A and B are shown apart, each in its own frame.
Chain A
Amino acid sequence: MTTSETMARESAKSSGQTYKPQDGLLLEVEDLHVEFHTPDGIARAINGVNFDLFEGQTLAILGESGSGKSVTAQAIMGILDMPPAVIPKGQIRYCGQDLLTMPDEQRRRTRGPEISMVFQDALSSLNPVFPVGWQIAEMFRVHRGMNKSDALERAVKLMQRVQIPAAKERVGAYPHQFSGGMRQRIMIAMAIALDPAVLIADEPTTALDVTVQAQIMALLQELQEERQMGLILITHDLGVVANVADKIAVMYAGRIVERADVYDLYRQPGHPYTKGLLESIPRLDQKGQQLAAIGGLPPNLMRIPEGCAFNPRCKFAQDVCREDRPALLEVAPGRESACHFAEEVLHG
């Protein structure tokens, strides 16, 4: 019996609902669409995203601002503001059950015990007026009905688990009394409190120093291996995920444009956008040379270009790219790209 199966049992007890992954398949996102209905028009933030997440797997979702990576995470978590957000199409199945059609109360009970999330800015994401221990303990009190002192005891243990020094003494301290890295550890402690099967980390290290970034990523990886969680890592920083992720999905204008194993993708990008991203990373061996950048701007989500959304910025673009939107197809074993010229990009 894997850890997550034990967890499924445990959470089933409290929520009256059984979630058991079939063949380790935790999450299936199928043809997900998300739109934002604003006074200025409809912004199509996600336009048909598909992916699966298995136990013990780390999937990185990579993309620049507005690519839809955070919206995907929020849609899975069920924390989109609806309205203005609308999900016109698609399914998000957790252990076979569609989260989007689930009754609100049942879905609420999945947040925390089943699927959990770590946010970008831990200072604003933690409540400033409650002690951190209280905020962690709240998970046990609300979902497990634990009393205050038992819950606080569990909170201390979690704080120790995420390596917060003097956890016992600091359980009553407030978020502003911690450093950025420590705050993010507290966020993580809160997110893993109920042993979720899926953990989503939305740019967990963006607000941190580089040295602290590495520590937090190491902690996430360690916890993920220990608990065999399915981990979704959302980031715009290729460097952050390189050592941690199994698979990378690159998003552009609300679609996955490339998906591959981490090392394949780094070695040989299969989409011009990924290629551009990789080339725009400063490298020591190219000191003194002009840094490559992707020309142009990300598309306006209210007016996504016809055909391939990336075509106005693409070096490879031909007429076909402006007319026909390429599907995400397997271009080599274990890797997919949504580009008419994927072969050329891959081997060129």
Chain B
Amino acid sequence: MYKYILRRLLQMIPVLLGSTFIIFAMVFALPGDPTAGMCGERPCAPAFVAKFKQEHNLNDPLPTRYAKYMGNLAQGDLGTTFRDIKVADELKQRYPTTAKLAGMAIIFETLIGVIAGVMAGIRKGKFMDNLVLVSTLFVIAIPIFVIGATLQYYLGVKWGLRPVTVSPQATVNELLLPAFVLGSTSVAYVARLTRTNLVENLRADYLRTAIAKGLTRRRAIGLHALRNSLIPVVTFIGADFGGLLGGAIVTERIFNIQGVGGYLFTGIHNRDGVSVVGTVTVLVLVFLLVNLLVDLLYGVLDPRISHD
């Protein structure tokens, strides 16, 4: 078990190096001058440009710059942007908001998805099943910005039931609607995954045994079948959580949430390579760690999986 975790942690190193290098290379390969627009309506003075390039190592060849950056990173320095803001400070402020939003979205998708999936699964072929199948198809088919903007308009602007946008404090109340929107697509997948697995497990031999043991239908399905059906669902939710922790560019922009998704977007938009690379490095790391946790959880949920 510990060996497995250690091996997985070591495997992260090449993944992290590879992904950061690709991002680094791509960001700096983008055309455009980072000093453009820094000095108002006119081009910056050549002396300033030279100093700027010197300070930010822009004259070095790519491998050198990458090596210097990684050297700083190893010491815990995520870099300083062209506008002299420490990436680490910015993330410290924004990451809690993103984590909160992701966590709430996961709670939504788990609760609604599993309940809908169970209701559909135990009434296979009946009205409830069809209702869930059709409505999830509907949700999957509609792009998230349409769902977000529509709900924002009706619930927020027109009926005034929910806050329209999210303040920098990002309270739980303000995040309810954005989290619902962010989790909506995954709700549909969770519901369908739960349903399919439950239907399959309801036919399993061990469920027949559970009935033959004289268990109530509720216990046989709710404990024996559901426990087995949720193994792949939990895996999906875990992986989804890893993805959501990378920020939600669209949802964050619709509701004006100050999270990492928006930060990343602005960074790309402004050719601010350092902030993009720094953020992505953190996101990759988080994603890998969450996936490791999911794999460990999988072993706990399914005793047949061994991590030895």
Residues of A within 8 A of B140 (CB): none
Q: Which residues of B contact A154 (CB under 8 A)?
A: none
Q: For B207, give the chain A residue with the smallest CB separation.
A: A127
Give chain B nearest CB distance to A284 CB in angstroms: 36
**Of the candidates A117, A130, A143, which one forms a contact with B212 in the assembled complex, judged by CB atoms under 8 Å apart?**
A117
CB distance B214 to A129 under 8 Å? Answer: no
Q: Which of B209, B210, B216, B301 has its CB near the most chain A CB atoms (within 10 A)?
A: B209
Given A129-B301, A174-B303, A174-B304, A124 contacting B204 (CB threshold 8 A):
yes
- Bound-state CA distance A129–B301 (Å) is 7
CB-defined contacts of B212 to chain A, threshold 8 Å: 77, 79, 111-112, 116-117, 119
Q: Are A142 and B213 touching (Cβ within 8 A)?
A: yes
Identify B303's interface contact among A110, A112, A128, A139, CB under 8 A.
A128
Instruction: Determine the chain B residues whose CB is within 8 A of the CB of A143 once the complex forms.
Output: 214
Interface pair B215/A79, CB less than 8 Å apart? no
Main secondary structure of the interface of B (DSSP, over half): helix
Compute how far the CA of A221 lies from the CA of B109 in the bound complex, rounded to whole angstroms: 53
Residues in A with CB closer than 8 Å to B204 are 124
- Of residues 228 to 261 in B, which have CB atoms within 8 Å of A's CB atoms? 228, 231
B200 at the interface (CB under 8 A from A): no
- State whether the Cβ of A170 lies closer than 8 Å to any Cβ in chain B: no
Is B208's CB within 8 Å of the partner chain A? yes
Residues from chain A with a CB closer than 8 A to the CB of B231 are: 129
Most chain B C-beta atoms within 10 Å of own C-beta, residue among A121, A129, A130, A139 = A129
Q: Which A residues between 168 and 182 are near B, CB-CB below 8 angstroms?
A: 174, 176
Residues from 76 to 134 in A contacting B, C-beta threshold 8 Å? 77, 79, 108-113, 116-117, 119, 121, 124-130
Asked if B146 is at the interface of the complex by the 8 Å CB criterion, the answer is no
In the assembled complex, which residues on chain A have CB atoms less than 8 Å from the CB atom of B90? Answer: none
Contact (A108, B304) CB under 8 Å given A119-B209, A125-B206 = no
A35 at the interface (CB under 8 A from B): no
- In the complex, which residue of chain B has the Cβ closest to the Cβ of A107? B214
Q: Which residue of A lies closest to B301 (CB)?
A: A129
Among B210, B213, B219, B303, which residue has its beta carbon within 8 angstroms of that of A176?
A: B303
Chain B residues closer than 8 Å to A139, beta-carbon distance: 213-214
Smallest CB gap from B216: residue in A: A108
Would you call A138 an interface residue if the criterion is a C-beta within 8 Å of the partner chain's C-beta atoms? Answer: yes
A125, A129, A138: the one contacting B227 at CB < 8 Å is A129
Bound together, the chains give a CA A302 to CA B231 distance in angstroms of 40
Q: Name the A residues within 8 Å of B209 (CB-CB).
A: 119, 125-127, 187, 190
- Total A residues in contact with B, Cβ cutoff 8 Å: 27
Residues 194-210 of B, flagged 1 when their CB comes within 8 A of A and 0 if not, give: 00000000001110111
Indicate the member of A127, A174, A176, A190 with the most B CB atoms within 10 Å: A127
Given contacts A125-B205, A128-B228, A112 and B210 within 8 Å (CB-CB): no
CA distance A111 to B231 in the complex (A): 29
Q: Are A79 and B213 in contact (CB under 8 A)?
A: no
Contact B206–A138 (Cβ < 8 Å): no
User: Which chain B residue has the least Cβ–Cβ distance from A113?
Assistant: B214
- Decide yes or no: A127 and B303 within 8 Å by CB, A119-B205, A121-B205, A142-B215 being known contacts: no
Encode contact with B along A151-185: 1 for CB under 8 Å, 0 otherwise: 00000000000000000000000101000000000
Q: Is B302 in contact with chain A by the CB < 8 A criterion?
A: yes
Residue with the greatest number of chain A CB neighbours at <10 A, chosen from B206, B216, B224? B206
Q: Which of B208, B209, B212, B303 has most A Cβ within 10 Å? A: B212
In the assembled complex, the CB of B108 is this many whole angstroms from the nearest CB of chain A, namely 26
B302 is contacted by which of A109, A129, A138 (Cβ under 8 Å)?
A: A129
Q: Which one, B208, B213, B227, B228, contacts A112 given CB within 8 A? A: B213
Q: Of the candidates A121, A129, A174, A190, which one forms a contact with B213 in the assembled complex, judged by CB atoms under 8 Å apart? A: A190
Closest A residue to B227 by CB, please name it: A129
Q: Is the CB of B228 within 8 A of A108?
A: no
Known: A128-B303, A174-B304. A142 touches B214 (CB 8 A): yes
Residue in B205, B208, B214, B302 whose beta carbon sits within 8 Å of that of A108 in the complex: B214
Do the beta carbons of B303 and A124 come within 8 Å of each other? Answer: no
State whether A128 touches B304 (Cβ < 8 A): yes
Contact assessment for B205 and A109 in the assembled complex, using a CB-CB cutoff below 8 Å: no
Min CB distance B264 to A, Å, is 39
Task: Say whether A111 contacts B303, CB under 8 Å.
Answer: no
B window 271-308: CB within 8 A of A: 301-304
Q: Do B224 and A127 touch across chains, with their CB atoms under 8 A apart?
A: yes
CB distance from A33 to the nearest CB of B (A): 22
Among candidates A110, A124, A174, residue contacting B205 with C-beta atoms closer than 8 Å: A124
Find B214's partner among A112, A121, A124 (CB 8 Å cutoff): A112
A109-B214, A127-B224, A142-B213 known; A79+B302 contact, CB < 8 A: no
Residues in A with CB closer than 8 Å to B214 are 108-113, 139, 142-143
A129, chain B: closest CB distance, angstroms:
5
- B211, CB-defined interface residue at 8 Å: yes
Known contacts A128-B228, A174-B304; is A138 also within 8 Å of B211 by CB? Answer: no
Contacts of A111 in B (CB 8 A): 211-214
Say whether A129 contacts B216, CB under 8 Å.
Answer: no
* B206–A127 CB distance below 8 A: yes
Q: How far is the CB of B171 from chain A (nearest CB, A)?
A: 39
What 0/1 pattern do residues 86 to 111 of B give for CB contact below 8 A with A? 00000000000000000000000000
5 nearest interchain CB pairs? A111-B214, A112-B214, A124-B205, A174-B303, A127-B206
Interchain residue pairs with CB less than 8 A apart (19) = A108-B215, A112-B214, A119-B205, A124-B205, A124-B206, A125-B208, A127-B210, A128-B206, A128-B302, A128-B303, A128-B304, A138-B213, A142-B213, A142-B216, A174-B303, A174-B304, A176-B303, A176-B304, A190-B213
- Residues in B lying within 8 Å of A, measured CB to CB: 204-206, 208-216, 219, 224, 227-228, 231, 301-304
New A-B contacts (7) at CB < 8 Å, excluding given A111-B211, A111-B213: A109-B214, A111-B212, A124-B204, A125-B209, A127-B228, A142-B216, A143-B214
